[in-house]
Chain A
Amino acid sequence: ACKVRFPIAIDLQSSSIPIEQRASVAIRLETLLNVHGDASPYHYKVSPAADRSVPLTVILQLETDDGGSGLHYTLDSWSPTVTVTRGAVTPGDDDLLASQLHQLMQQIMVDEHASIALLLRDSPLHANFRDGSAFASEFESLQRRTTRAFKPAPSYHLTISLFSGGSAPSSWDIKTATEQYISPLLGALSSISNFTVDTQVQLHASISPAIAGPTFESATNTWTLLATDLSGFVNAAEWPLSPGIGSGSTINLILYIPHPRQMPLILYGGGNSWIVPQWGGVQIVNPPSNTTSHLSAADLESVMLTFADQLMSLLGVPDSPSSLALRIASLQRQRTISLVLSASSTLGALVRLTRKLQSIAIPKTVAHSVDLTISHLEQACTALSEGDYIAALSSAKVAEAEAEKAFFEPSMVGQVYFPEEHKFAVYVPLLGPMGVPLVMTLIKEVKGLVGRRKEKVKVG
């Protein structure tokens, strides 16, 4: 059995506080953080100096300034460093500082704690941990986030499309724009999934006829789309949004430029973009001039930033803390645990299926896949408890893929649906005529038996 453990290594670094004092703060902080013991999946290890026994997770950089004893912190977006600024630390402050840092860490980790509690809630693993109801208030928003996000997959295909209602603009400087705004993000996310990107320009794209369509507001001289129209805005029948051909889901990011006739097109209640859950994001932009034929990289800046934001929510990256590195690390842990859970439940379903249908033949490949799944699940579990989250995630991905492969083995699926009626149709013409004399004789014999009994009774 796998015991879910997330070791979190915290380095307490400071140039102004001596190492002895840091050590004492570290011990206190560790005690405070691990207050729940084994009932929490998290195990914090705080060290006053660089300790590399477990892979590093968070760096707490302590700085002192002239302010009071209040504590404020900043997060670095590309590295897991939290810079904490506080007034001068006196030797007696250890307890206060430790409790302040504890609060800070809780603030940073609250989202992740809640997400993990939600993931474990419905699994057999939850019995090992303390009740997650402490986070119940956040479950609803977290669940919304999960339903919005794509299912975890080892690779995603990203399609960025420009749809013009008319014939202009017909070109955009997308190469520069993606290199500038999207590629760095995808680089940071590469530890979670692989991404391939393609872009396209589509002209004469009309809004889906299924919706009531934008209405003209003569007061403001604008065209308005209602919130109810947004779900049917994408014209799936006409817009060439065929999914990517390789493995993995396709995430569609669409920039829509309305037809000059329908400009400016705005959303009722403000905003210009929305997310279609598990499909992609759409945004509407009204260019300053009707005849703009080219969108430069500068024009695309705000568009690309919105796309980046949409992409994050579509992948289920947590909204907080504000540091991207910490959010991705948190997503890594969530992904690993959800993949492990889903692989195990698939395996469980397969076992139930084979128990139910005793006659089903299990091909060698399925057995092999099951073996692989189990070994990778074990590897993922070990890697998790060692804090090697990258290795854990990659093992979990393999386990999930193999489990799915085993479950959806085509030769087994075919066997499940073998029709019994066919055998029936073939044997009835044989068994029917053969059965008739048998049944008739049986009836006769039974009658004869009954008759003889009666006679015996009479004679007796």
Chain B
Amino acid sequence: MHLATLLSLPASLALLSLSLASVSPHSYTEHLHLLPLPQSHLHAHFNFTATTPLSAYESSHFRYFPRSLAQILQHTRTKELHLRFTTGRWDDEAWGARPLEGTREGGTGVELWAWVDRGGSKTVAEERWSELVNSLSGLFCASLNFIDSTKTIRPVRTFEPEGDHGEQKGNLQLLHGMLPHEVVCTENLTPFLKLLPCKGKAGISTLLDGHKLFDAKWQSMAIDVRPVCEGKIGEECVLEIQQSVSMALSISRSMRDRHDPIPRPARIEDVECDESKPWNGHDTCFPKALTGEPAWTLSKVLGHAAKGACDLERDDQAFDVTLEVPSDRPVNATGASELTLPSTTRRHYRLSSSSSFDLSLPTQSSPISFIALSIPPLYATRQIAGHGQERGSMHTTLRNPHAHPLTLVYMETLPWYLRPYMHTLRLSNGKQEKMYYTPALDRERGTHLELVLTIPAQSTATLTYDFEKAVLRYTEYPPDANRGFDVAPAVIRVLASNASQDYAGSYVRTTSLLLSLPTPDFSMPYNVIILTSTVIALGFGSLFNLLTRSFVLAEEVPPSPLAGIVRRLQGLAQGMLGKKGGAAEAEKNSGTKEGKVTEISEPVEEETEGKANGIANGHADLRERKARETP
């Protein structure tokens, strides 16, 4: 039962593109699939497919195929390209299997893999790959240019070409790179829309609004270019570009008023309390769990209504929008004609070219019967464990919910500064059949690990290994070094096995991880400079003074003018105090003081002379001074 629903979505899309591809080599179709998910979420999948005959592509005459992308592919001899921009997390516990079996989504951030003509040598493919990532970086305003040799791997089992490459296949090199740190946002959506023939000005692409798309719980933008030769023998092959946007929106969050975008707690009057709870009272309210689905309209959830159809030689039977809801749910559609197909849960709409299209669904209060959710091929989570800044360990939990064993490829790309100890690799409750491992080289290459695993039916397998964290060079840290370093998600591909062919070819990706590395104090180099300089200067100063200063007795020192001033000030202060006490006393004081001063000044000179005579032999400077004093 679930298999049928799982396969029906991609099948309908594939059927659509196929049927049109055979009509005209230059073709363009677009389609939106809407499916309400439990807990008042909505899954929307936009698909835009354009094709061009290979001869027109090679002679650079473009119609629906975007020229800006095509010239990059031509220049770098890229035969098949897959590019993904993803944010958020698909909650497969609540929402079931991933859309299109996970084949049109990527790991958090940016993921890119491509088959490049290797042109005879290994270095050529690398140069072309480097040109490809740099050009795509410019085209999509993303930091794809940071996919350098340390982030590039050559997977063995995880990816298979989707296109028909004929004899060329042996001469293609697969390269794969991920950027988990990349934040996907509107600046990536704008160039994505620019590649479409209708550019977000007509058709379903008008529904794509950056505010709503990047506010979604999960979204994935994908671009897939591949050659297709599915026509009759002798018919020309076409190059197909599929652009798709898949997102899971929270309906209540998206329906928020546009003028008040700040999320606030609902007012207490608006919250429905769960009165069955024992702690419910006049001053305590426990919000009732959502059972139904609030009313929603397409224009509010996605920000716009669709502005007419993208009317490019559409097939008369083609439909633009599919909504998958139980047949008893009332749906109000404007600006489109409804097509009835022999399917009970699906409603198809064909947009009219002039009026704007909108869908509205009323509140569904009763616990609605959702379209039976399909069970994902497996549940996978991955964490970093351990403490301290030196070591850690990686834990991956793979749960097989099915009644048959699963064979899968588990692929990891680790940055070079995370050094796994492969001897600690353990798999509990599963069988490791094959391992492809490329060890990391510091600052040159990351670790590439692919494992072929079999997980028994209805069981959970855990994969663990320990690793060491490298200490980076001072300049290798990013400006926000204390945030941590992103580790790319693991990619899991289910393989066909003897036990079952189900789910073969579907993909599951774990979330990306944050690795905290030992982070230095960045003012340290300057502190070291200052401290060393101070020590050197101190040493130098004392040595210099030792060599150049003349050492004299305290009595020899002539009275400094400063001391005189201090003494006079002292006298003044004492005088003031004395005046307060009595004039006579003051006079007496001043007299004694003067007398003292004169008394002192005479013996000092005498003593100096005497002592100077004693030392004179040893100290030239003193001898000179003495000579000066006694002319």
Contacts and interface: CB of A to CB of B under 8 A. Distances in A.
Interface of A: 159, 167, 170-171, 174-175, 196-204, 206, 238, 240, 242, 244-246, 293, 426, 429-430, 432-434, 436-438, 441, 455, 459
B105 to A, nearest CB: 26
Where chain A touches its partner, the secondary structure class is mixed
B61 A203 contact: no
B61 A437 contact: no
Interface string B528-566: 011011101110110011001000000000000000000
A174 B544 contact: no
B211 interface: no
A15 B457 CA distance: 99
Contact of A203 (B26, B199, B538, B628): B199
B141 interface: no
Interface stretch (B15-23, B66-74, B224-232, B404-412): B66-74
Interface string B42-78: 0000000000000010011111101110011001000
A244 B545 CA distance: 71
Contacts of A199: 60-62
Contacts of A196: 60
B194 interface: yes
Contacts, number: 93
Contacts of A203: 197-199, 312
B199 A198 contact: no
Contact of A441 (B532, B537, B544): B544
Nearest to A168: B311
A249 to B, nearest CB: 15
A433 B538 contact: yes
Contacts of B64: 201
B26 A434 contact: no
A270 to B, nearest CB: 31
Given A167-B310, A430-B533, A441-B544, A245 B71 contact: yes
B26 A171 contact: yes
B71 A204 contact: no
Nearest to A435: B537
What are the 6 closest A-B residue pairs judged by CB atoms, nearest first?
Answer: A433-B537, A198-B60, A430-B533, A429-B533, A204-B201, A200-B67
Contact of A437 (B63, B532, B544): B544
B202 interface: yes
Contacts of B532: 430
A460 to B, nearest CB: 12
B139 interface: yes
B68 A246 contact: no
A170 B195 CA distance: 15
A434 B540 contact: yes
Contact of A238 (B61, B62, B194): B194
Nearest to B135: A245
A428 B624 CA distance: 38
A170 B60 CA distance: 16
B72 to A, nearest CB: 6
B311 A455 contact: no
B75 A245 contact: yes
Contact of B628 (A174, A436, A455): A455
A199 B59 CA distance: 9
Contacts of A167: 198, 202, 310-312
B541 A433 contact: yes
B631 interface: yes
Nearest to A199: B61
B183 to A, nearest CB: 23
Nearest to A201: B63
Nearest to B311: A167
A434 B540 CA distance: 7
B60 A197 contact: yes
A429 B67 contact: no
Nearest to A196: B60
B533 A240 contact: no
Contacts of A434: 536-537, 540-541
A200 B62 contact: yes
